[in-house]
Homo-oligomer: A and B are copies of this chain.
Amino acid sequence: MSRILTVAAAQLGPIQRADTRASVVRRLCDLLRQAAGHGCDLVVFPELALTTFFPRWYTEDQTEIDAFFETALPSAETAPLFALAGALKVGFCLGYAELVEEDGRLRRFNTSVIVDKSGEIVLKYRKIHLPGHAEHEPWRAFQHLEKRYFEVGNLNWPVRRIMGGVLGMAICNDRRWPETYRVMGLKGVEMVLIGYNTPRHNPPAPDHDRLSEFHNQLSMQAGAYQNGTWVVGAAKCGVEEGCEMIGASSIIAPSGQIVAQALTQDDELVLARCDLDMCASYKETTFNFAKHRQPEAYRLIVEQTGAIAPE
């Protein structure tokens, strides 16, 4: 048996602040056309794919920040991408900054959506693990103010049957947390779509910088293996406004093996024929959750947030 979904990770090189959304959408459309030419069903674009990675700047001017947000998707500027997806019959996953009126107030989320082959949004996820900090830390060469500009996502990690597979999403820092994959694993996920923007330099832990790609892939490989799921990670990378971000976009099998990996720091498509039926080989044996999990022993995972060391 096999159930092939041909998937591309569409890595993006840098997007400078002066780049217009229209110019970015043209790059996304180019990648989508490449993917269609290779018979892909689905293209995964990075997190916050429509603009530069704005959480690197501190400002108290909300208007300046809101200019990086989308109030509608599709919008006039992004409509060509949706139309092209429908015309080419290729779905995609796209990350963007979402500004929405909800519960009677304006709310801002770091969001991604899956768009099906008809060009319709069929699933939405809002990032749960916001990294960085909420206040200005001027000692950093670059800020990482996701905790300031976004709320924690309120949709949990939804999964849904799309294109014949059980698909879910995570965003950037989510991929380092095993809870992310496990929650979706418990919902039967067969492919996790992940966009990311990861600065090479982590100011609070500069000695980790040279391990960035290793940690990126270790986290995604473990998440794949431990839940018997495909994982597709797509980076925005290269030097963006003077800040270097890692690439290493990857497609990872339920075995944890990397089956495709980007080599450049620029716009680049990597793809793989992903057999969703390979998931069962893990989900029904080593990671048969019903047989082997012991939730009673895991209570601390939800009952405690921070670590508490013994006296």
Which residues of A are at the interface with B, using a C-beta cutoff of 8 A? 128-131, 152-153, 156-157, 159-161, 166, 173, 176-179, 182-183, 185-188, 202, 204-205, 207-208, 211, 214-215, 218-219, 221-222, 225-226, 255-257, 281-311
Q: Which chain B residues lie closer than 8 Å to A306 at the CB level? A: 186, 288-291, 293
B183 touches A300 (CB 8 A): yes
The distance from the CB of A245 to the nearest CB of chain B, in whole angstroms, is: 16
Instruction: Count copies of this chain in the complex.
Output: 2
Interchain CA distance A296-B211 in the complex, whole Å:
30
Interchain CA distance A256-B176 in the complex, whole Å:
12
B178 touches A182 (CB 8 A): yes
Question: Which residue of chain B has the shortest Cβ distance to A298 in the bound complex?
Answer: B179
B255 touches A208 (CB 8 A): yes
Interchain CA distance A177-B182 in the complex, whole Å:
10
Given known contacts A222-B219, A285-B202, A187 and B310 CB-to-CB distance under 8 angstroms = yes
B285 touches A205 (CB 8 A): yes
Question: Which residue of chain B has the shortest Cβ distance to A182 in the bound complex?
Answer: B301
Taking a contact as CB atoms closer than 8 A, the residue among B166, B293, B297 that contacts A310 in the complex is B166
Given known contacts A166-B309, A187-B310, A218 and B256 CB-to-CB distance under 8 angstroms = yes
Interchain CA distance A111-B188 in the complex, whole Å:
32
Q: Which chain B residues lie closer than 8 Å to A205 at the CB level? A: 281-282, 285-286
A281 touches B218 (CB 8 A): no
Question: Which residue of chain B has the shortest Cβ distance to A204 in the bound complex?
Answer: B285
Given known contacts A219-B225, A289-B305, A297 and B179 CB-to-CB distance under 8 angstroms = yes
Q: Which chain B residues lie closer than 8 Å to A178 at the CB level? A: 178-179, 182, 222, 226
Taking a contact as CB atoms closer than 8 A, the residue among B157, B257, B283, B294 that contacts A307 in the complex is B283
Most buried by B among A214, A284, A302: A302
Write 6 A-B pairs (CB below 8 A) sorted by A numbering.
A159-B309, A178-B182, A186-B300, A208-B255, A208-B285, A299-B302
A301 touches B300 (CB 8 A): no
Question: Which residue of chain B has the shortest Cβ distance to A287 in the bound complex?
Answer: B176
The distance from the CB of A3 to the nearest CB of chain B, in whole angstroms, is: 13
Taking a contact as CB atoms closer than 8 A, the residue among B211, B221, B286 that contacts A208 in the complex is B286
Interchain CA distance A287-B307 in the complex, whole Å:
10
Q: Which chain B residues lie closer than 8 Å to A311 at the CB level? A: 161
Interchain CA distance A290-B306 in the complex, whole Å:
4
Q: Which chain B residues lie closer than 8 Å to A287 at the CB level? A: 176
Q: Which chain B residues lie closer than 8 Å to A218 at the CB level? A: 218, 221-222, 225, 256
The distance from the CB of A205 to the nearest CB of chain B, in whole angstroms, is: 4
Interchain CA distance A143-B307 in the complex, whole Å:
39
Q: Which 3 A-B pairs give the minimum distances between C-beta atoms? A: A188-B309, A290-B306, A222-B222
Question: Which residue of chain B has the shortest Cβ distance to A203 in the bound complex?
Answer: B285
The distance from the CB of A57 to the nearest CB of chain B, in whole angstroms, is: 21
B295 touches A301 (CB 8 A): yes
Interchain CA distance A273-B186 in the complex, whole Å:
39
Interchain CA distance A79-B226 in the complex, whole Å:
39
